[in-house]
């Protein structure tokens, strides 16, 4: 070094001598004083001069920093703006006109706080905020890689997340369930643990949601799997890029490679039940009230459908088999294979032979094989329809089996081998074993590299059990300097568009330092004091003046001195995410289905994606009909190899790794989606229908109604005139209102929230 | 510059055309002061201004295409001798009982260079003097998923940007009415990993490949909604614009609002311009015959190649063509029956690829277009199935062959060499990152300089840096 060069020899000698001359104590690892690795202090809430502007401690900290630059918070936003802001933030759809009016007219002193509470209690809150968590969990409904096979039970994790947010499950509990859901039961006598509670088994899916390469080289795959778990757990819960240390000591943070493998060692006993299918499943009953009965009933109905379809299919195949037999008799006999026991012409043709023939004809579409075709296009299409229908029904049944994508610990002695040793892997290569390590916590935080004291059962009967719970307990310990600050920072990020630490999954030296370090500390401590309640933290943030202030730039000097708005002298205006845009279009057309939970749905794909969604000629996108096609976007089937274009164009990424912050791009492809897609155009028609039925035939009233529904306000006189002018120019006149509705859906105001 | 971008566009709306400062279709306009797809200068002077990357999905056998291995004849039907330096899955294959399968196809010398090419590719053979070959490329994984990711994105894990994304990021793209990076896959389906193959990974979204449909209208949602005329749409767009301008004027200094206004302008123009560029009906009958559009076997890939020519002709920076799908009959993944399947693959691509090379040359475009022919891995000269009378080949991450043409590629040159069995490099394998470094270099980009800060590291396509294969550069 430096790269491409070498230091002069005498410099090397000087450095060597200095190292040799260091006293032995200087070489010992000392606990880092880096802010993120040190438990936050208990700061006093600053006193502020303008006490009227401060509603709570958050305001005090914000005003304190603003005051350093002689700035202050902006004026409060008007009531309409606050309602829209809260609705989009907490439930992800716009308020209905009557909901808007109800708040605007409510002059009671705690009206705003009341609205916050009622939205936090709304089940749509879990669907909105659960989506942020799914981004971190790299959630998808498929495996990725070859064939991109489905994970039929991943959806149960998605519902688990939504429910956990709705129930305000304490965050420490949420963390423990996802890392060690199978290790909750305290073993107090010498009997095995019962199966984990179904909800906790479902929670364990978290560890398995990364794309998984199922090729045969098993040591390498196991290393990939466990390394990914290690890396993800650290970035999601600890906000640290420990994954960087898989191959070498972390270049910036005090995380040596050993520490990566010491953390990986907590996962050493993980075992995935391999049923040969993608996924591998653990039993997990349906635990929500009424869900088991519903699942049993639905499965039974599908099973009846399968039987009926299979019977119909068999009938359909009969004449085809006759045709095939006749055709085969005319063919020259093939060379007899040694394993054939019957002579050629007495062989009875079976359904398998029919399948082979039809597949072969379908594969020969380009006419390369010069064989004559036996079946017509109609017959082949109908055959395919049957197989697809039966295939879909069987998949639908599978999705409703009481299973989850969980995992378990390997059986220890005497049934299985003892806990496997974890080795440091040199350069991260799976077959390059370095020194063995014991499970242990990050030395940068602990100040030492001693092995962790594992929480095993006192009888030592189950030596493979308890590691992950040990890790989870360390993560959510009130003494852990990172966990609570990382989570409150994420919550802050989704409310304000940017975290106090902008790099929400990197609190290390290469991340951005906190804009308000004392506030972050204070919030982290408060989170723990409030028993890790996420809703309590929401309430604190949402009720602050900082959150309620206007998004307009009202201070020229603030614009100059803090153009980035790092100090929060106004509320940041933002664009909605793809899911919220789609849900809002449906909310406004009146067609959004609020049916919660359950297996994924498949809204129609745009016409051009017919080929892209096929795997080996088979349609994989089981387009939903009716209400199911219009459910909230969080329920859409997330296929790794094919992102739903409407969402993708609005920056919904394909989740291969945790995503802590989405982009908000602006592209002409988005404009095309919003203007030309079948989806928006159909909903614009329904939006117009809704306006017509709610306001009647008068054009001016229709215009007012459309603005109220889409934008939450009355149109200005100039807007009414412009709208009338457009509508008058539309032919045929029946399309005039649809045209206006389409225009409103495409306005900036529809998706940029003040 | 004192004039805002919107003013500039207003004044040039009437067809000044492709100006370097103009916006791009898939451009992220949110950072108003920097156009993500504005043209950027090359790091080093190279002739190629655009790239056509042809990816054969499934693992094209080097032994039956461009790597002539007559020595295999003497081992036909017998186990292949032990080859050192293999590991993982393929080492396992070779350790197990196996038999050697020489190429069932004749090879012959082509062109002035007298290079050996399989007679399955006679038309490509005619252009062989323009091609530079790379033999014995090593890919990091012996299976389709990770190997496809590795060849297309430089990493076998999903989540890294594709070659086209890096090139768009490094150079921008000239045409303001089309995406800078276009993908056309096989009409029969998607490659393994689907959209991840042309994804932008951790680069901004504007650098992702835009998938054009292989049949019918190429761009999704490009057509006006049913029943809406362009004239009507124009009136509606005017109202959208007016509303947005009012909205933005009440919220001064929000560059995103302005950028979105521009995005709609672009979309409107693009609806008109792009269909013309992707409409093949204006090509002469002779050109269509050259590409084999009149023959059902060559029509699909012929269409892809012809469209690629039109796109680069119209200022699209990078075009990815995929031939072959996931797995199955339409993939190059010939585990069985190489004797019948290889001719089918070859028949579908030989004429179109050769046509593309000839057509580019005739129009003076080959000098400024880098053409790359690739697959995700090579194949084995032996198989473990001792009984089948329709033998195929297994995966071989050590034996990949690729060729390049156009730009500063030195026609007739070779990099690397495989052993007498065609199973791996004779000496040091050429790691894929060297190939990637070379592709970038031929486009005028240095893989070391073309970096993006992500998760605390300056990432690059070649990850740890690759060596440019100077022997194939003129």
- How far apart are alpha carbons A538 and A558 in whole angstroms? 27
Q: What is the predicted pLDDT for the residue at B11? A: 39
- Chain B closest CA to A735's CA: distance in Å? 9
Residue with tokens 């049934």: A415
Average pLDDT, chain B: 88
Query: Is A612 close to B456, i.e. CB distance below 8 A?
Result: no
d(CA A81, CA B168): 40
Does residue B19 lie within any of the structural domains? Answer: no
Q: Partners of B109 in the beta sheet? A: B116
d(Cα B119, Cα B343) in Å, to the nearest integer? 10
- Residue numbers in A near B266 (CB within 8 A): 668, 671
For A:432-451, CB contacts with B below 8 A are: none
Q: How far is CA B360 from CA A420, B307, B448, in A?
A: 59, 12, 30
Residue A45 in contact with residue A58, Cβ under 8 Å? no
Given a cut of 80, whether residue A572 has pLDDT beyond it is yes
CA–CA distance, A723 with A719 (Å, rounded to integer) = 6
* Alpha carbons A631 and A594: distance in angstroms, whole number: 6
CATH of the domain at B339: 3.40.720
* Nearest in space to A180 (alpha carbons), one of A269, A64, A119, A88: A269
Q: What is the per-residue pLDDT across A195-252, written as a single tens digit (0 to 9) for each?
A: 899 999 999 999 999 888 776 667 888 888 899 999 999 999 999 988 888 877 887 7
Token digits of residue B428:
């040091």
Residue-number span of the structural domain to which B421 is assigned? 5-12+35-472
Q: Which has the minimum average pLDDT: A116-120, A431-435, B191-195, B301-305?
A: B191-195
Q: Which of B25, B140, B243, B339 to mutate to test the interface with A (most CBs of A within 10 A)?
A: B243
Question: Which tokens belong to B444?
Answer: 């005028």
Interchain contact, A148 vs B194, CB within 8 Å: yes
Residue A244 has phi, psi (to 5 degrees) of -60, -25
Closest to B259 measured CA to CA, from B334, B191, B206: B206
Of A144, A671, A675, the CB nearest to B158: A144
CA dihedral A268, A269, A270, A273 (to 10 degrees): 140
Say if the Cβ atoms of A667 and B263 lie within 8 Å.
yes
Q: Tell whether the model's pLDDT for residue B6 goes beyond 50.
A: no
Residue A617, pLDDT > 70, answer no
Partners of A136 in beta bridges: none
pLDDT score of A50: 63
pLDDT of amino acid A32? 54
Residues B242, A748: contact at Cβ < 8 Å? no
User: Who has greater pLDDT, A660 or A530?
Assistant: A530
Enter the tokens of residue A323.
Answer: 């045709």
Report how far apart, in Å, the C-alpha atoms of A650 and of each of A540, B25, B181 are: 30, 14, 18
Out of A640, A676, A746, the one facing B222 most closely (by C-beta) is A676
Restricting to A residues 470-529, those with a Cβ less than 8 Å away from any Cβ of B are 506, 508, 510-511
**Out of A616, A643, A672, closest to residue B327 by CB:** A616
- DSSP SS3 for A403: strand
Report the pLDDT value the prediction gives residue A28, as an integer from 0 to 100: 56
A 135-174: CB under 8 A from B? 144-148
What is the predicted pLDDT for the residue at B68? 97
User: What is the domain count for chain B?
Assistant: 1
Phi, psi dihedrals of residue A437, rounded to the nearest 5°: -135, 155
What per-residue confidence (pLDDT) applies to B138?
97
DSSP string, A8-75: -HHHHHHHHHHHHHS-GGGGS------GGGSPPP-PPPPP-S-TTT--SHHHHHHHHHHHHTT--PPP
Select from B257, B242, B250 the least CA-distant residue to A752: B257
Joined together, the tokens standing for residue B239 give 């109202």
Distance of CA A523 to the CA centre of its chain: 25
**Does B212 fall in a domain?**
yes
Q: Which of B157, B263, B297 sits opposite A670 (nearest CB)?
A: B263
Q: Which residue does chain B place closest to A364, by CA atoms?
A: B329
Q: Which residue of B has its CA nearest to A643?
A: B195
Alpha-carbon torsion angle B424, B425, B430, B435, nearest 10: -70
- The alpha-carbon gap from B439 to the nearest alpha carbon of chain A, in Å, equals 23
Of the listed ranges A375-379, A599-603, A690-694, B33-37, the one predicted with least confidence: B33-37
Paired strand residues for A283: A403
Nearest CA-CA partner of B222 in B165, B273, B173: B273
Nearest to B192 among A145, A719, A739 (CB): A145
Cα angle: A305, vertex A311, A312; to 5 degrees: 90
Closest residue to B159, CB basis, from A146, A366, A657: A657
Neighbouring CB atoms inside 10 A of B397's CB total 27
Instruction: Please compute the mean of the pLDDT values over residues B325-341 and round it to a whole number.
Output: 84
Q: What is the DSSP string of A610-679?
A: TTTTEETTEE------GGGGGB-GGGB--BTTB--HHHHHTT----SS--SS------HHHHHHHHH-HH
pLDDT band at A731 (very low <50, low <70, confident <90, very high): confident
CA A574 to CA A130: how far, in whole Å? 19
Residue-wise pLDDT tens digits, A261-303: 999 999 999 988 765 555 668 999 999 999 999 999 999 999 9
Rounded to the nearest 5 degrees, what angle is found at the Cα of A118, between the Cα atoms of A536 and A634? 85
Return d(Cα A554, Cα A72) in angstroms, integer: 11
Length of chain A: 754
| Chain mean pLDDT for chain A | 89
Contact A82, A104 (CB under 8 A): no
pLDDT tens per residue across span A88-116: 999 999 999 999 999 999 999 999 999 99
Report the range of poorest mean pLDDT among A272-286, B40-54, B142-156, B398-412: A272-286
Q: Do A144 and B196 touch (CB under 8 A)?
A: yes
With H, G, I as helix, E, B as strand and everything else as coil, classify residue B47.
coil
pLDDT digits (tens, 9 = 90+) for B112-168: 999 999 999 999 999 999 999 999 999 999 888 889 999 999 999 878 999 999 999
Q: Give dist(CA B46, CA B318) in Å, integer.
A: 16
CA distance A182 to A467: 11
- Average confidence (pLDDT) over A603-619: 74
Nearest to A712 by CA among A665, A747, A672, A664: A747
Residues 678-737 of A with CB under 8 A from B: 678, 681, 718-719, 722-723, 726, 729-731, 735
pLDDT bin (cut points 50, 70, 90) of residue A613 is confident
Tell me which residue has tokens 């006006």: B224
Highest mean pLDDT among A250-264, A605-619, B42-56, B222-236: B42-56
The whole-number pLDDT of residue B20 equals 25
Question: Which of B93, B188, B221 to substitute to test the interface with A, most A CBs within 10 Å?
Answer: B221
Interface test with A, best of B29, B146, B220, B250 (most A CBs within 10 A): B220
- SS3 category, B130: helix
Using the structure block, give the residue that is written with the tokens 């290079």. Answer: B115
Q: What are phi and psi of A593, to 5 degrees?
A: -90, 130
Give dist(CA A228, CA A208) in Å, integer.
9
Distance (Å, whole) CA A304 – CA A317: 20
B189 CB neighbours in chain A (<8 A) are 611-612, 614-617
Do the domain assignments include residue B20? no
Q: Within 10 Å of residue A564's Cβ, how many Cβ atoms? A: 8
Tens of pLDDT, residues B67-92: 999 999 999 999 999 898 898 888 88
Structure-block tokens of residue B10: 């207003």
Nearest to A229, CA basis, from A566, A559, A471: A471
**In a domain? residue B27:** no
């Amino acid at each position: 070094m430096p790269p491409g060069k070498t230091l002069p020899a005498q410099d090397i000698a000087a450095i060597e001598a200095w190292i040799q001359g260091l006293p032995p104590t200087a070489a010992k690892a000392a606990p880092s004083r880096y802010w993120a690795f040190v438990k936050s202090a208990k700061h006093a809430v600053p006193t502020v001069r303008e006490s009227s502007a401060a509603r709570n401690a958050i305001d005090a900290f914000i005003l304190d920093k603003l005051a350093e630059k002689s700035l202050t918070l902006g004026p409060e936003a008007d009531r309409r703006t606050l309602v829209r802001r809260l609705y989009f933030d907490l439930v992800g759809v716009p308020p209905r006109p009557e909901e808007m009016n109800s708040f605007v007219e409510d002059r009671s002193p705690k009206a705003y706080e009341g609205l916050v509470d009622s939205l936090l209690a709304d089940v749509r809150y879990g669907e909105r905020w659960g989506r942020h968590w799914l981004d971190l969990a790299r959630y998808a409904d498929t495996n990725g890689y070859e064939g991109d096979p489905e994970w039929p039970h991943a959806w149960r994790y998605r519902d688990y997340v939504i429910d956990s947010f709705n129930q305000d499950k304490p965050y420490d509990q949420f963390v423990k369930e996802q890392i060690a859901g199978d290790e909750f039961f305290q073993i107090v006598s010498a009997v095995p643990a019962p199966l984990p509670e179904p909800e906790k088994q479902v929670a364990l899916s978290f560890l398995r949601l990364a794309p998984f390469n199922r090729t045969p080289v098993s040591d390498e795959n196991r290393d990939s799997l466990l390394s990914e778990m290690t890396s993800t757990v650290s970035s999601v819960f600890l906000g640290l890029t420990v994954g960087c240390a898989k191959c070498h000591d972390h270049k910036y943070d005090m995380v040596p490679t050993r520490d990566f493998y010491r953390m990986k060692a907590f996962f050493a006993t993980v075992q995935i039940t391999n049923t040969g299918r993608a996924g591998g499943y653990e039993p997990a009953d349906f635990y929500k009230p009424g869900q088991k009965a519903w699942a049993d009933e639905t499965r039974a109905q599908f099973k009846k459908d399968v039987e009926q379809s299979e019977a119909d299919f068999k009938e359909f195949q009969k004449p085809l088999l006759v045709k095939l037999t006749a055709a085969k008799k005319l063919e020259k006999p093939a060379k007899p294979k040694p394993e054939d026991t019957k002579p050629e012409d007495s062989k009875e043709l079976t359904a398998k032979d029919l399948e082979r023939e039809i597949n072969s004809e379908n594969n020969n579409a380009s006419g390369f094989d010069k064989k004559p075709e036996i079946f017509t296009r109609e017959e082949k299409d109908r055959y395919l329809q049957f197989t697809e229908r039966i295939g879909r029904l069987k998949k639908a049944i599978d999705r409703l089996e009481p299973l989850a994508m969980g995992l378990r610990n390997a059986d220890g002695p005497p049934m299985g081998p003892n806990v496997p040793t974890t080795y440091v892997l040199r350069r991260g290569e799976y077959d390059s074993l370095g020194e063995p390590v014991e499970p242990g916590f990050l030395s940068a935080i602990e100040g030492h590299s001693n092995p962790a004291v594992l929480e095993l059962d006192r009888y030592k009967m189950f030596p493979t059990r308890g590691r992950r719970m040990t890790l989870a307990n360390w993560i959510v310990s009130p003494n852990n300097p990172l966990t609570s600050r990382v989570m409150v920072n994420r919550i802050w990020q989704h409310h304000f568009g940017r975290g106090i630490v902008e790099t929400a999954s990197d609190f290390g030296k290469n991340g951005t330092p906190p804009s308000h370090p004392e506030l972050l500390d204070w919030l982290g401590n408060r989170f723990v004091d409030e028993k890790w309640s996420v809703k309590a933290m929401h309430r604190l943030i949402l009720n602050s003046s900082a959150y309620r202030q206007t998004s307009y730039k009202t201070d020229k000097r603030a614009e100059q001195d803090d153009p980035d708005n790092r100090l929060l002298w106004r509320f940041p205006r933002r664009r909605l995410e793809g899911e919220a845009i789609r849900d809002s279009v449906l909310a406004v057309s009146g067609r959004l289905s609020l049916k919660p939970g359950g297996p994924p749905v498949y809204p129609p794909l745009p016409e051009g994606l017919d080929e892209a969604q096929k795997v080996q000629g088979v349609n994989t996108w089981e387009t939903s009909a009716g209400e199911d096609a219009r459910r909230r976007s969080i329920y859409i089937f997330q296929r790794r190899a094919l992102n739903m274009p409407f969402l993708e164009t609005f920056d919904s990424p394909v989740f291969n790794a945790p995503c802590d912050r989405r982009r908000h791009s602006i592209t002409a492809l988005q404009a095309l989606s919003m203007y030309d897609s079948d989806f928006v155009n159909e909903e614009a028609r329904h939006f117009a229908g809704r306006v017509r039925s709610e306001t009647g035939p008068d054009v001016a009233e229709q215009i007012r109604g459309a603005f109220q529904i889409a934008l939450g306000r009355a149109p200005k006189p100039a807007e009414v005139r412009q709208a009338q002018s457009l509508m008058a120019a539309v032919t045929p006149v029946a399309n005039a209102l649809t045209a206006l509705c389409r225009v409103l859906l495409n306005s900036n105001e529809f998706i940029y929230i003040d | 510059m004192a004039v805002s971008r919107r003013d500039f566009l207003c004044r040039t709306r009437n067809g000044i055309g492709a100006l370097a400062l103009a916006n791009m279709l898939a451009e992220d306009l949110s950072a108003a002061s920097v156009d993500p797809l504005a043209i950027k200068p090359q790091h080093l002077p190279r002739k190629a201004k655009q790239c056509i990357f042809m990816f054969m999905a499934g693992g094209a056998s080097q032994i039956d295409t461009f790597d002539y291995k007559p020595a295999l004849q003497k081992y036909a039907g017998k186990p292949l001798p032990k080859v050192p330096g293999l590991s993982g899955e393929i080492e396992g294959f070779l350790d197990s009982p196996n038999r050697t399968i020489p190429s069932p196809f004749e090879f012959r010398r082509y062109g002035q260079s007298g290079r050996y090419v399989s007679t399955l590719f006679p038309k490509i053979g005619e252009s062989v003097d323009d091609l530079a070959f790379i033999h014995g490329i090593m890919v990091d994984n012996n299976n389709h998923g990770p190997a496809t990711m590795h060849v297309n994105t430089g990493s076998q894990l999903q989540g890294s940007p594709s070659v086209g994304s890096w090139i768009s990021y490094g150079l921008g793209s000239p045409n303001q009415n089309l995406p800078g990076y276009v993908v056309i896959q096989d009409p029969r389906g998607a490659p393994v990993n689907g959209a991840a193959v042309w994804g932008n990974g951790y680069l901004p979204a504007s650098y992702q490949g835009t998938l054009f449909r292989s049949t019918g209208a190429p761009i999704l949602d490009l057509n006006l909604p049913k029943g809406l005329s362009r004239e009507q749409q124009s009136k509606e767009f005017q109202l959208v614009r007016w509303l947005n301008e009012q909205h933005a004027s009440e919220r001064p200094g929000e560059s995103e609002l302005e950028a979105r206004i521009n995005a709609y302008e672009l979309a409107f123009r693009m609806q008109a311009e792009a269909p013309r560029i992707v409409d093949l009906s204006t090509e002469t009958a002779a050109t269509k015959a050259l590409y084999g559009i009149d023959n059902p076997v060559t029509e699909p890939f012929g269409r892809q190649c012809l469209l690629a020519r039109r796109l680069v002709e119209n200022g699209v920076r990078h075009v990815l063509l995929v031939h072959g799908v996931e797995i199955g009959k339409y993939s190059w993944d010939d585990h069985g029956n190489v004797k019948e399947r290889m001719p089918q693959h070859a028949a579908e691509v030989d004429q179109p690829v050769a046509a593309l090379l000839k057509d580019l040359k005739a129009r003076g475009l080959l000098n400024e277009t880098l053409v790359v022919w690739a697959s995700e891995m090579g194949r084995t000269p032996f198989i473990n199935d001792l009984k089948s009378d329709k033998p195929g080949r297994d995966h071989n991450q050590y034996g990949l062959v690729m060729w390049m043409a156009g730009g500063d590629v030195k026609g007739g040159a070779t990099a690397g060499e495989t052993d007498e069995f065609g199973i791996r490099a004779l000496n040091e394998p050429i790691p894929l990152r060297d190939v990637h470094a070379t592709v970038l270099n031929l486009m005028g980009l240095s893989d070391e300089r073309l970096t993006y800060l992500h998760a605390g590291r300056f990432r690059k396509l070649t990850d740890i840096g690759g060596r440019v294969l100077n022997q194939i550069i003129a």
